[in-house]
Structure 1
Amino acid sequence: MTTLLWDVYAHCYDVVATLTPYRKMVGELMGEVPDRPRRVLDAGCGTGNLTAAVRAKNPVEIVAVDASEAMLTRSRRKNAGIAHLRADLNGDLANVTGEFDVILCGNVLYALADPARTVALLKSRLAPGGRLVVTTPRAGAGVRAILGEHIRDRGVVSLGRVVVPLLAVGVINTRLLHSPAHHFLSRAELGAMLGTERIRTTYSGQAWLAVYEHGRAGETAGR
């Protein structure tokens, strides 16, 4: 997906954050972040929802990066005082320096040119004992299950005020989910890429949540 389309997406994306499955997914991600980490990298921060959530963990420092300036603008509004850098995860992240105790990568890998390369790069930026926490859509993912769970939890009336932006998100997601350029990984593929078996489903079963811990027995530093 082009940066321009991500910029457009930035203006309607946060409607997704009103859905209960999204909120549950964020909660599961935060459950993998230890309290008071020294440095946290939100790799592909989007509109800053994970950055905002991780602040409750009282980290010493958070760095949020994204390739879309429109996404970064929205994240900055939510996360005043947090360092934001424009950086393409398809690149070498040369302007993102140092090691991190936690790296979050929420629903980003599928849209990268070479997700295995980016995963290897992110793993190389972990401090000893650091964690890389990833979510990424499964093959065949769709919005029907997500909306269905939200309606069961909150009722269909709760969607009344967000129907229009949800339609816009639906159009963009349809393009994403049917693009041959994107990578929808199996559990085995994701496990091999990260070098971990700590993988489960999240987001109404439409995404994987995986955790790699640097130096943990049975987890490998390479691809």
Structure 2
Amino acid sequence: MHVFSCEQFQKLMASSGFRGPWHSLVDLGAGDGATTAHVAHLFEKVYATDISAPMRWALAKKKFTVLDVEKWYESGPFDVILCLNLLDRCDRPNTLLRRLKSSLAPGGRLVVALVLPFSPYVEVGERGDHKPSEYLPVKGNGLEGQIASLVDRVFAPLSLRCLVWSKLPYLCEGDLGQAYYFLDDVVFVLEAQPDSSRYSASEWMDTEPSGREFRNLPQQQTGYERKCNTA
């Protein structure tokens, strides 16, 4: 899959106010590591997880440190955590979000990508019906309605503050009927807040830097991956 280029990732980080340190990155559910590879050179240590044995082999071949999917957090805390198109595919998304928050280093950033409208599908879960065991209360009509719902009803109760979000085209592997699918991904950059703090989606609808939409990210060409020459 292709979510963002190195240039897009750096602009998201800068827009969220992140200036480092760039010591450690972990990419959860990294697949074959194609997206991870775009940004790996920015960090001193790069970790990745995936439930698939062939994907873990591919990640190791790319020289990433592959962590156990059940114990990845033991290698933390991490400066940046990538959770790209995973919340709608995992059985316990609320539990995962709490673990993600606790695994962030002070001042770190959690990058979450989701295809909207939200449509969860769990390949292997406790229920056995492809529905998640934990419910994410994502409501709302249209893109901004669903984004506001994620900020207010999912991230805020867990004291995860949305600093910036952007919509990017998501290129993912297809099936027998179509080689590739082109979807809209919404990428959120979050930071951990004290458990007592609360905020609402109205904050990122202001003109203040905190939580604003970042509309000027360069779009990758359809079917191709942009190259980033920034070291």
TM-score bin (small chain): 0.5 to 0.7
CA contact (8 A) 2:21 2:79 kept: no
Matching of residue 181 in structure 1 with residue 142 in structure 2: no
What is the CA–CA distance in structure 1 between the aligned matches of 2:85 and 2:57, rounded to whole Å?
19
Matching of residue 74 in structure 1 with residue 52 in structure 2: no
The 5-angstrom pairing of residues 86-125 of structure 1 reads 86-87=68-69, 91=70, 93=71, 96-125=74-103
Judging changes above 3 Å, is the alpha-carbon distance between structure 1 residues 100 and 208 closer, same or farther for their aligned structure 2 residues? Answer: same
Unaligned runs of 5+ in 2: 14-18, 124-128, 139-145, 171-182, 200-231
Q: Which residue of 2 aligns with 1:150?
A: none
Matching of residue 50 in structure 1 with residue 35 in structure 2: yes
1:47 is displaced (CA, Å) by 0.9
Judging changes above 3 Å, is the alpha-carbon distance between structure 1 residues 184 and 44 closer, same or farther for their aligned structure 2 residues? Answer: farther
AA aligned opposite 2:58? R
Judging changes above 3 Å, is the alpha-carbon distance between structure 1 residues 215 and 95 closer, same or farther for their aligned structure 2 residues? Answer: closer
**2:191 maps to which of 213, 216, 223:** 213
CA contact (8 A) 1:108 1:136 kept: yes
Unaligned runs of 5+ in 1: 1-15, 142-172
Judging changes above 3 Å, is the alpha-carbon distance between structure 1 residues 102 and 84 closer, same or farther for their aligned structure 2 residues? Answer: same
Matching of residue 40 in structure 1 with residue 25 in structure 2: yes
1:47-67 Cα shifts (integer Å, max 9, x gaps): 10222112231x121111111
AA aligned opposite 1:53? H
Aligned residues: 158
1:28 is displaced (CA, Å) by 2.9
Instruction: Report % sequence identity.
Output: 24
What is the CA–CA distance in structure 2 between the aligned matches of 1:180 and 1:95, rounded to whole Å?
26
TM-score by length of 2: 0.57
Q: Which residue of 1 aligns with 2:168?
A: 202
Q: Which residue of 2 aligns with 1:138?
A: 116
Matching of residue 28 in structure 1 with residue 13 in structure 2: no
Q: Secondary structure at the match of 1:86?
A: coil
**1:65 maps to which of 21, 43, 49:** 49
Q: Secondary structure at the match of 2:75?
A: coil
Say which structure is richer in helix: 1
1:147-169 Cα shifts (integer Å, max 9, x gaps): xxxxxxxxxxxxxxxxxxxxxxx
What is the CA–CA distance in structure 2 between the aligned matches of 1:95 and 1:128, rounded to whole Å?
15
AA aligned opposite 1:189? S
CA contact (8 A) 1:200 1:209 kept: yes
Q: Secondary structure at the match of 2:39?
A: helix
1:118 is displaced (CA, Å) by 0.7
1:31 is displaced (CA, Å) by 3.2
TM-score by length of 1: 0.58
Matching of residue 83 in structure 1 with residue 65 in structure 2: yes
